[in-house]
Amino acid sequence: MSRPEDRALSRRQVLALLGATAGAAASLAGADARAAAGELRIGYQKSSVNLMVTRERRLLESRLPGTGLKWVEFPAGPHILEALAVGSLDFGFTGDTPPVFAQAAGKDIWYVGLEPPKPANSAILVPAKSSLRALSDLKGKRVAFQRGSSAHYLVVRALDKAGLQWSDITPLYLTPSDARAAFEKGAVDAWGIWDPYYAAAEIDGSARVLSTGVGLSSNNSFYLASKALTRQPAVLKALFDSVSEADAWTKANLPATARFLSEATGVPLAGTIRFLARRTAGPVTPLKPADIADQQRVADAFSRLGLIPKPLKVADVVWKT
Same domain, 113 and 159: no
* Residue 25: per-residue pLDDT: 40
Does 17 map to a domain? no
Contact 112, 225 (CB under 8 A): yes
Same domain, 62 and 151: no
Same domain, 105 and 74: yes
- Evaluate the omega torsion of the peptide bond into residue 196 and state whether it is cis, within 30 degrees of 0: yes
Distance CA 205, CA 61 (A): 41
Task: Give how many domains the chain has, as a whole number.
Answer: 2
Last residue of a domain, one of 173, 191, 212: 212
Amino acid (1-letter code) at residue 7: R
- Which residues touch 51 (CB under 8 Å, ≥6 apart)? 42, 44, 71, 93, 243, 246
Same domain, 260 and 271: yes
Task: Express each pLDDT in 9-57 by its tens digit.
Answer: 344 443 343 344 344 443 444 444 444 448 999 999 988 999 999 999 9
CA distance between the termini of the chain? 51
The angle, 0 to 180 degrees and rounded to 10, between the axes of the packed helices 97-104 and 289-304 is 70
Task: Express each pLDDT in 204-261 by its tens digit.
Answer: 878 999 999 999 999 999 999 999 999 999 999 999 999 999 999 999 999 999 999 9
For the residues 114-120, what does the mean pLDDT come to?
Answer: 94
State the CATH number of the domain containing residue 247: 3.40.190.10
Which residues constitute the domain of residue 274?
Answer: 38-118+220-317
Last residue of a domain, one of 212, 233, 253: 212
Task: Express each pLDDT in 122-140 by its tens digit.
Answer: 999 999 999 999 999 999 9
Same domain, 51 and 173: no
Asked whether the whole model's pTM tops 0.95, one would answer: no
Last residue of a domain, one of 160, 190, 212: 212
Return mean pLDDT, the chain.
88
